[in-house]
Each structure stands twice: as C-alpha cells, then as structure tokens.
Structure 1
C-alpha cells in the first residue's frame, strides 16, 4: 500500500476526489456538531459525513464555512432519508439539504437506505440525477443497498437514467465485513465507505484487537481505522472528544501485516447498527 495521509484522496468515477478518511457526525448532538467538526478540520480532516436524518447538516456545514479553508478543500456528504423515498419527496429533501448546508454544492449525496420499493428507489435516484445536472450535487451514491438493490439501480442507469454510483456506504468492520458487497462495488471502481468502523466501541476488549494494539503500540480504535484503510475503504470514525478525534487520524505511521489482517478475518456477521442490507426484502 502506497504511503497515504489524512489529506490523501481517491478518484471517484465521477472525476472528483474523495479524502481517504471522513469525520462522521452520526448521533452527534446539533449543539456540539459545529465545534467538534471545526476541531476535526483544524486537526487535518478534509471530509465531513452528515445526513438529513442526523439533524446536524446546518451545523456541520457551518464548521466548513468557518474553517477559513477554501470550499473546494473540504468534501461534504449528506443523504436522502428513508422517509423521503420517491421522486417528489426526495426532490424536496435534496433541496432542503442543499439549503441547510449553504455551501454552494454538496460533494456527495447518498440514498440512505433502500426502503420504499423499486419505484421509490428509482424515483429517488432520478431526483438525485436532476440535482447533479443542476450543479447542486457533484457525486451520487447509495448506503445500505443489498446486491439486488445495487443491480436494480445499475440496470436503471444503463437504461439511460443517468448518473453513476460513485460511493457505497455501509457498516463495515471485522465483525461485519460485507465482503460480497465490497467486492461488487470495487469491481466497478465504486468507493466503499465504512461507517461505524470502530464498532461503536463495543469490541475494544476483544483479545485479537488488544493483541494487535499492543504489538503496534497503537490503540484498538487506530487498529480498526487502519484495517479499513488497508482494505481500500474510506472509514468514517466519529467522536465528540478532541483527543479521540486526533487519535483516530493518527493511523498513517504504521501498517498491519498480512498476518495481522488475517487475524481480523473473523467469519462473523454481527452489525451494531440498523441493517437495511438484510432487513429490506423488496
């Protein structure tokens, strides 16, 4: 793996660049979001992952505007919520997210989950493509789509619907690896983003993780972020604690060996969040 840093990027199939680590604000209270996001930017993060349903788009974007950096230097993501699936509802939600951010454009807009059925999924995509063509959104993607939903969307795009799937965002970590979905995406040069890469701190006492942390003189969280990076994913660690925000970014001065990576191949499927990938049957 070539040397990378917090400011390193991957090229999306849309032609834009996405930083290799994002700062997640899921469940971050709106009254602290601006402060912690600005701190993350000060510490070197250049990628902020928000969503309409998080209730903190406005605060996340305010941190970006107040950072003193040129808008083009920070990558901002939001998402169309499950309750806004379908062309008309999605169009309204996208407009609201654009207005809340007030950044000129949104770098990446995702469909948050595949709920609602085929007609609503494809209608939501149509609304995203329109926003992209209007210059309000630069890149499009999905979150929590099972392979059948990905293939359905791929077929729709090939039929002339427009747009490209540039990113697939999922809960991914050694206890929920989703290797089949990651393989499907990576074969198409679609960037894989990993949310809850720290397993919401529920696995920090696992012997395999503690052994690797001790071996490398790193924390368990840093080992998990590094695992994501070495899989070629874009991890989205979150914290409201300054020391941990910094810690989660200090993952570029060590590498996990092939043996280390193999020890984290656990053959288990134990997500800690919601799981639309399994739950959405239509």
Structure 2
C-alpha cells in the first residue's frame, strides 16, 4: 500500500487524507473490520457515539499493536448532548467507551438548528479542547451561515467540517467557505451510497485508467483536497478503497466528474434536520 498523504489542519495537527469509516458497521463486525483496515495500512479511523460502535473501534485500535500516536481517531458528539454540561459528559462517555487517553478529533455531529444553540455546544467543545484530551475540534454538516455564526461568537476556528460530498453533490459553496476560513473539508458518503458507481462518465474513466468506479470517485475527492473515509466490512473492498495512490485523474476527468453535480442529497438537509 502506498503512503497516505497528510492534510495539515489549521492548528498544525496532521490528519491522513484517507481514513476508514465505520458508519452502519454493526458493533459485532466493526472490531474485525477496523483491525483489517489498520493491518492494510489505514491510520485514520472515523466513528461517532451515534454509530453505537465506539467501544469496539477502541478495542481494535488498542489490539492493533500500533503506537497510539500513529492512529488518528475521530468521534462525534451525540445529538442529544448539545447543552454545555451534557456535551462535557458525552465526551467523557466517548472516551470511556473508546478506552483511549486522548482523541485526535471531536466533532459536533449536526447543527440541529431547531433544538438549541450550537454556539453553546461549541463553547463546551472549546473547553474540551483546552483540557488537552482532544487534539482538534470541528463540526459536521454545518452550512456557511452556521459557520459564520460560530466564527462570530467563538475563539477556536473549527479544524474541519465534515459534510456530505460526492459527484452528485459537489458542495462547492460550502467547500469554498471552508477553504476561505482555513477549515478542512471531510467528505462523508463519498460514493453516494454506491449510486454514482454506474454513472457513464465515471465508468468510462474507470475503464481508461484500469481502476474501479469507486477508486476513480475516491481519487476525484483526494485530488480536490477532500479528506475521505470510505467504509466497508469486506477485507478486499477495504484494500481496494486504499489503492488510490498509483494513478492520477486528468484535469479533464476531474471537471467531467464535477459536472455531474445535481445537488442531490442522500442524507438529511442540515437546515431541516433536528435529530
């Protein structure tokens, strides 16, 4: 497996640009899948309290034989814990379940505009960051107007914004806002739950490059500068998703894939979703 490049976040912390996602991998399967990813060469694992698998992810990290400093671990705040004290308690719960001394990245999972004030939530995140128990903090599914409000009322700029991004939802406006403010973009659902893999433009490029449609799509993300963490519980697919560093897409390829955008979400709308 080729070396995975790092992205340097706005506080100097380095995050591997390719990671392993654990969303919707059942708790009974995720330990083995995460171990397989770490054995393949992944060094970045993405989980969340709401995934219900933090304990097993932590077990895999501890059992991998790797130095803790060599594995970048992300988790996310539960949607039911946005009040200041609740957020602090939820972080304690995440750390207990993971069984780790520190976390590399902790995210506010959703803005939940109809639930409460995410600025209060962010103040709890800042307190956690100051404690030294997490190396970086960020947000997930925040739109530019959410971020503007956060930036106007806080001290720490989010290190990342994890959003739904794929060829059918290229998110140029959010990605540009992130870039303007030094916020890295992480792309969840990078292959649109498989829906982009049969697109003629992507299959043509896959045939020409001798790669799979999934590899072409993930390479498109990487060359645009997004951080991605495809998920699979299948060892050969875990390996396939990592084989992205021995080919390049042309500018024409990237443009053709980007032109597939149709603002098609496969997850909730952050302005409407309230948990």
TM-score in same-fold range (> 0.5): yes
Aligned match of 1:239 = 232
CA contact (8 A) 2:2 2:246 kept: no
Aligned match of 1:225 = 218
Q: CA deviation at 1:280?
A: 5.0
Matching of residue 272 in structure 1 with residue 269 in structure 2: no
CA contact (8 A) 1:87 1:120 kept: no
Matching of residue 252 in structure 1 with residue 249 in structure 2: no
| 2: CA distance, partners of 1:120 / 1:86 | 8
CA contact (8 A) 2:192 2:266 kept: yes
| 2: CA distance, partners of 1:95 / 1:165 | 20
Matching of residue 53 in structure 1 with residue 50 in structure 2: yes
For structure 1, the 5+ residue unaligned runs are: none
Structure 1 118/129 Cα, relative in aligned 2: closer, same or farther at 3 Å? farther
State the aligned residue count. Answer: 273
For structure 2, the 5+ residue unaligned runs are: none
| 2: CA distance, partners of 1:27 / 1:274 | 16
CA contact (8 A) 2:82 2:116 kept: no
TM-score (norm 1): 0.93
Q: CA deviation at 1:274?
A: 2.1
Structure 1 274/5 Cα, relative in aligned 2: closer, same or farther at 3 Å? farther
Pairing 1:1-282 to 2, within 5 Å after superposition: 5-117=2-114, 120-157=117-154, 162-264=155-257, 265-276=259-270, 278-280=271-273
Deviations 1:133-179 (A, max 9, x none): 1111110100001111000001112xxxx323100101101101110
CA contact (8 A) 2:157 2:183 kept: no
CA contact (8 A) 1:109 1:139 kept: yes
CA contact (8 A) 2:108 2:138 kept: yes
TM-score (norm 2): 0.95
Deviations 1:263-282 (A, max 9, x none): 11223111212221x4259x
Q: CA deviation at 1:85?
A: 1.4
User: What CA RMSD, in Å, does the superposition of the two structures yield over aligned residues?
Assistant: 1.6
54-63 vs 118-127, which deviates more?
118-127
CA contact (8 A) 1:6 1:249 kept: no
SS at match of 1:245: helix
Q: CA deviation at 1:81?
A: 2.0
| 2: CA distance, partners of 1:221 / 1:133 | 39
Runs of 4 or more, structure 1, over 6 Å off, are none
